[in-house]
Structure 1
Amino acid sequence: MSSVTHTMHLARKGKHFFWNYGPLVFSVFYFFPMIRNYDTYSVAEVIVQFLAYISFIFCYHRASTKPAKDATNFIALMLLICVFMTQVTLGTSTLFGYVGYFIGFCFLGTVRWLMLAALMCAITLVATLHVNLNYWPYFIGPAAVISLGLFGFGLVEYKERLHRNESRQSREQIRHLAKIAERERIARDLHDLLGHSLSSISLKSELAGKFIDAGCHDKARHETQEVAELARTALSEVREAVSGMKQLGLRAQLEVMASRLKDKGVLVELDIQQVTLTPEQESCLCFVAKEAITNVLKHSSANKVSISLSASEQHHKLILSDDGEVRKVVWGNGLNGIKSRIEELGGSFNLRAENGLKLVAQLPRKEI
């Protein structure tokens, strides 16, 4: 039956007892005919009715706690109890409805509707065989209405449960993809930060070894000192990057960078407007600002740096310019990393050498 059922449980784990078994409160209507006509029933018939009811509740419990694909036998037993007990009491008109509820929840597609039709046929058949014609409206009417109504509730419960599971899976997939994207971003950050430094350390270490082999100890000592300086610089950059990941947004990052420039005696002009960025955009522009200003600190002779952050109806724009002397722009790992990040987010990157260096990073504006 696995091709026409599913694996969900009707009873929800962790829910209060009344949540799963509260609907059985209405099954007490099963006893109303016996209570109303108690004198007409023998002791044996009363005992049989109670035993049948207990068996029905047991089957209900088992069908609720099992996966739908394994509940078929218990649903069939519930239906058989209703069919056979109609010979004894008309109260089974109430219990047929619970069978309809399980059919609506447990079965899929065309089989669900075939099972509902079979239930309606069973109700009609037992009424024909065991119910006085005068009592037909009082038996078939309630049995059919309750069965159809609870069938609808079972179907809605299945659809709602399916939607919730799909939503949970979607959220889990989004979280998983976000973790992958974050790992890739951090890996790229570390590559951009350390790639050049580690390559330089490797080359200078090899050069120092060659100088030692050649007996040029002074030159070897100079190279090892540069290796140590490169290592300290790389360590400082990694610490700043980690600190930025943990604490700083774009505005704070720009202010920290401006403070570093001022400590070096560079005049800084800041024009930072209030902008609303996605986390990916903010992370990208933080990296752009950090990389650009680090290049100024390391390689530029600039006396003045302008930093502008603004927003228009279509774009966010970050502009960094300095008045340093630029002979040639070399596209290394840093600039290539900036360009690829900007373009991945659908933006544009422009670098011009006009009376200094001007960097313009532009990202499309998005609703958050």
Structure 2
Amino acid sequence: MRARQWWARHRRIPGWHNRSNIAQIELYTRVTLYVVVWMMLLSQIALSVTEPVRAAAPGALIVVTCVLGVAQGAWNTRLAARGLDVYLGRVPLDRNAFVVGAVLMLGATGTLLALATFVAPGDFPMFVLALGAALLPYFGALSLVTAWRWTALLAALALTCATGVGLGLSGHPRLIFVSTIGVLFGGLWGMCTMRPSGWTLRGMWDLHEARETKARLAVAEERLRFGRDLHDVMGRNLSVVALKSELAVQLARRGKTEAAVEQMIEVQRIAQESQKEVRDVVRGYRQADLAVELAGAQGVLNAAGITCTVTGSAAGLPSDVQAALAWVVRETTTNVLRHGDAKACRVELVTGDEGVVLTVENDGAGDVVATGRGSGLAGLRERLAAVDGTLESGAVRKGVFRVRVSVPVTGLVDEAAPQKQEAAR
């Protein structure tokens, strides 16, 4: 039962390919920090069981040192994960966890210094690495949750304690020197390993959020443009309708029925024209210029941090075909902004003897792509049906989604024909 619960809880963790790019970078950073923690502590354990130590030191002290090393590995892995979350502003600081980590670190340092007293002075240098390996994981995690000066102060405190312990266990000046170098090595290396990694990751998350903000602003700008168009259409006409309706009321009160009827007829005409203009705005016919939409799509995507390349020209296409294709460009551009994590988008318009082909392709689909049954694509198919066009959508390769539209148009000239003939020659 517990195994099933564990599997149900962990199988929902997204895999590598199901994560976004920034999530993959964070996972890589975390795994790297965990590997550093265990590499250091396993090095500490390995140095604690070398031949000179086994030959001179008590076995119980060696076992205690190894157990503390394993305990440090498990606990400092948790501290590294927690410290990174604190540095990224996701969780509050748990001081008790770092207090426990400090106790384990001091215990491991003390046992290492105790082991050093049983070996010859010529074997002291290996304890430099052992002490550094014991201190690096803790001070690395600590540097993520405290300021640099506080981490340095605690490292200096640990240095003082280690020097005092070394002096108390053995008055040999070489052991005191070794303990000093080991503490400095572990503390400084830990601070210079984990803190920059957290700083880099936080900067990348900030850039990722800024990119998403740009995309949302681009969509909001498009909505504002639509709102301005609707205001331009309805504002003046509604003002005229209000004035003429008020005039008709005044004329009717004065008994001028025929004049009032004429004014209401004019109101009816303006209302019908307004209805048509609003319908044109909603359907996109008011600015159904394919060239404008292509340029607008490139500008919006580039502003959102997505490299967009547009090839082909809309010259010579019938107005109804341009209107339908302009809607395809607008809808697919919105989908690229709102869905996926695209870095590049390609828009290609090719005209030939049999018609025109519009291709929109982006690399932000991920492993799960749309099936082509959404309301947006369904609406595009309805618009394309009016010009006998067809729409195909789906994944063409891993992470790449493509929308391809074909519209049969007679009398077109392939603009690339001269280049193709020259290449054939």
User: When the two structures are superposed, what TM-score results if normalisation uses the length of structure 1?
Assistant: 0.54
Distance in 2, Cα, partners of 1:113 & 1:93: 15
Question: Does 2:163 correspond to 1:124?
Answer: yes
Instruction: Assess if the C-alpha contact under 8 Å between 1:64 and 1:71 holds in 2.
Output: no
Instruction: Assess if the C-alpha contact under 8 Å between 2:105 and 2:135 holds in 1.
Output: yes
Question: Does 2:93 correspond to 1:70?
Answer: yes
When residues 126 and 166 of structure 1 are mapped into structure 2, their CA distance, relative to the original with a 3 A threshold, is farther
Distance in 2, Cα, partners of 1:13 & 1:232: 57
Distance in 1, Cα, partners of 2:34 & 2:151: 23
Give 1:34's aligned residue: 48
User: When the two structures are superposed, what TM-score results if normalisation uses the length of structure 2?
Assistant: 0.48
Show structure 1 runs of 4+ deviating over 6 A. Answer: 11-14
Question: Structure 2 residue aligned with 1:108, among 132, 147, 154?
Answer: 147
Q: CA RMSD in A?
A: 4.0
SS of 2:49's partner is helix
Instruction: Assess if the C-alpha contact under 8 Å between 1:208 and 1:221 holds in 2.
Output: yes
Runs of at least 5 residues in structure 2 that lack an aligned partner in the other structure? 1-22, 113-126, 301-425
Instruction: Assess if the C-alpha contact under 8 Å between 2:110 and 2:162 holds in 1.
Output: no
Judge which range, 189-198 or 97-106, deviates more: 97-106
Question: Structure 2 residue aligned with 1:248, among 289, 304, 307?
Answer: 289
The share of aligned pairs that are identical, in percent, is 17
Q: What's the offset of the Cα at 1:93?
A: 3.5
How many corresponding residue pairs? 250
Q: What's the offset of the Cα at 1:98?
A: 1.5
When residues 187 and 34 of structure 1 are mapped into structure 2, their CA distance, relative to the original with a 3 A threshold, is same
Q: How does 1:1-368 map to 2 (within 5 A)?
A: 15=27, 18-23=31-36, 24-36=38-50, 37-42=53-58, 44-66=60-82, 67=86, 70-89=93-112, 90=127, 91-108=130-147, 110-130=149-169, 133-136=173-176, 139-175=179-215, 177-178=217-218, 181-214=221-254, 216-242=256-282, 243=284, 248=289
Q: Quick one: which amino acid aligns to residue 15 of structure 1?
A: L
Distance in 2, Cα, partners of 1:147 & 1:62: 18
Instruction: Assess if the C-alpha contact under 8 Å between 1:79 and 1:96 holds in 2.
Output: no
Deviations 1:234-265 (A, max 9, x none): 22323333416885356589xxxxxxxxxxxx
Q: Quick one: which amino acid aligns to residue 144 of structure 1?
A: L
Distance in 2, Cα, partners of 1:107 & 1:33: 30
SS of 1:86's partner is helix
Instruction: Work out which of the two has the higher radius of gyration on C-alpha atoms and give 1 or 2.
Output: 1
When residues 86 and 150 of structure 1 are mapped into structure 2, their CA distance, relative to the original with a 3 A threshold, is closer
When residues 40 and 109 of structure 1 are mapped into structure 2, their CA distance, relative to the original with a 3 A threshold, is closer
Instruction: Assess if the C-alpha contact under 8 Å between 1:204 and 1:223 holds in 2.
Output: yes
Give 1:307's aligned residue: none
Q: What's the offset of the Cα at 1:195?
A: 1.0
Runs of at least 5 residues in structure 1 that lack an aligned partner in the other structure? 1-10, 254-273, 280-368
Instruction: Assess if the C-alpha contact under 8 Å between 2:131 and 2:186 holds in 1.
Output: no
When residues 251 and 172 of structure 1 are mapped into structure 2, their CA distance, relative to the original with a 3 A threshold, is closer
Instruction: Assess if the C-alpha contact under 8 Å between 1:12 and 1:20 holds in 2.
Output: no
When residues 121 and 239 of structure 1 are mapped into structure 2, their CA distance, relative to the original with a 3 A threshold, is farther
Q: Quick one: which amino acid aligns to residue 104 of structure 1?
A: S
Instruction: Assess if the C-alpha contact under 8 Å between 1:123 and 1:144 holds in 2.
Output: no
